[in-house]
Structure 1
Amino acid sequence: MIEAINNILPVIVKTLERVHDNSWKMDYNVHDSYELIFVKKGNIDFWVEEERIELKAGDLLIIKPYTRHKFEVISCSKAEFVVMGFYLKPESRAKVDELKEIYGFLNVLESISSRFYFFHVRKRSNIFFCLESILHEAKENKNDILLYIKCLELFIYITREINSLEMTKNYDYSLLARHIKEYIDNNYMEDIKMGDIAKRLFMSESTLSRIFKNHFGVLPKEYLLSKRIEKAKEYLSMSNLKISNIAMMCGFSSLQRFNDIFKKYTGLSPTQYRKLILQGLE
């Protein structure tokens, strides 16, 4: 049983927490192990070969073995960061595919041409708390078995995060943007809130807005208002409906808001617009 567990454990070369100011410099060096760097505070210029990556608080970077690298503190205040070196024993390396829940992130790392992979870690995420726990164990209790278990837990969380990021990269966001537009086109007369749409799509409102704008060039809120104004123009031009009814039919919460938005978009009040259209028809 113990031998089976040993066969899946990584070899932890080092787990260090460093604090440096911008007077500290580091020469290029190379390791025969993977290296994980997590920035807790401050800003760091990290150089991989001749490529510069600016890391800020919350960024996590993993570099492949035998990669020339160095880093410099560039923030005015001191920078705090965690460095972990590790590698897999041949027995573990042979079982990476079987142990993809733990070591799947290494498969992703090895599949890309870049010598590194980095992403941002949310402050209250499992990865963040796991790193804090590993540091505490390494400094205070120094129980090797528990330290290795915590490292496996960290690798599981990193694998999940990287798998999620890779799925996001491959997702067809143009299709999602078109679905959002179609929803607005069919429901502009309702009390649409972008936050509600975002929740149904399991994303933040800012992410939804960015996806929509990247595809259509405008924010979804702006598109919704322009859609409502275009429909209002149709009603004003082709019907004798009261302006208050048109406002309600186009999804505006009040006549005053309708008047304000309509004038902002057209330069005319709804009454002036209708009068102008009727004059043109005479």
Structure 2
Amino acid sequence: MSLVGQALLDCSYSDESATFERHFHNAHEIIYVCDGSVGLQIGGSSYTIGPETLVFIGKLEEHKLQVISEPYRRYFLQLTPAQLDHATGDPMLKSIFLSRPNGFCHSLNLSGTSIPVWGNTESVFQAMLTEHRSDLPYANSTAMALLKLLLIHCYRISPASFPFSTKRFGKPINEIQQYIDENFTKDIRLDDLATRFYISPSYLSHSFREWIGSSPKQYIVRSRIAYARELLVTTSDPVNDIALRCGFGDTSNFIRSFYKETAMTPLQYRKFYK
């Protein structure tokens, strides 16, 4: 199945033990822990995640995970910003992936709750996994509908987990984030962003960091690095070409930035993961 028109980037189930060192994805991620427990660090927040708990990790959020108790059964899915927009254009429902104000909690325990018609949460993930792997008519539409149903259920349980309107700068900052997601390979400057969205550069920088969890510059660089990682593994393009394709002005700057984020050079990364 091609990625074009696909509802989800990935949807999987696993019961294998695993430890993941600090990393980030160029996509949003949901983990649903069915059994077992894990220690999870996302940015500066640390959690112990037990059964029947969802974890929402936004695009480019650094995280690492260590299994505490087994069996560690979980579902996980990833979706790009465009796929999230397709599944739900509702800014409130999307905010659990996008907004990171102070005190935000990435986890949501669903024990003792049931989703109308479907019952337990695991049944919804089983259905999403089935539809994701299916070639039946409307499989993508069904997967998107199930994801939206899950998000609505989570909102009804915990509206505070969806912090869209709690700050007056939330809406423009999310629009700026979306603009960067769509244009990070271009030359994006803070002053140009401020002009485009009619706010001052200092206010933009401060508000973006408070709302998203990183500065605009960090977000742009991490978007480029995430794209470069994908190209290094999926293509044989020269490093120079990948640097330019991802928006870096020169190869030396690309290599420095890549090493800072991954502790590897681009060629080392390609050799290790390809």
What's the TM-score bracket when you normalise by the shorter of the two chains? 0.3 to 0.5
TM-score, normalised via structure 1 length? 0.46
Higher relative CO (Cα under 8 Å, sequence separation at least 6) belongs to 2
TM-score, normalised via structure 2 length? 0.47
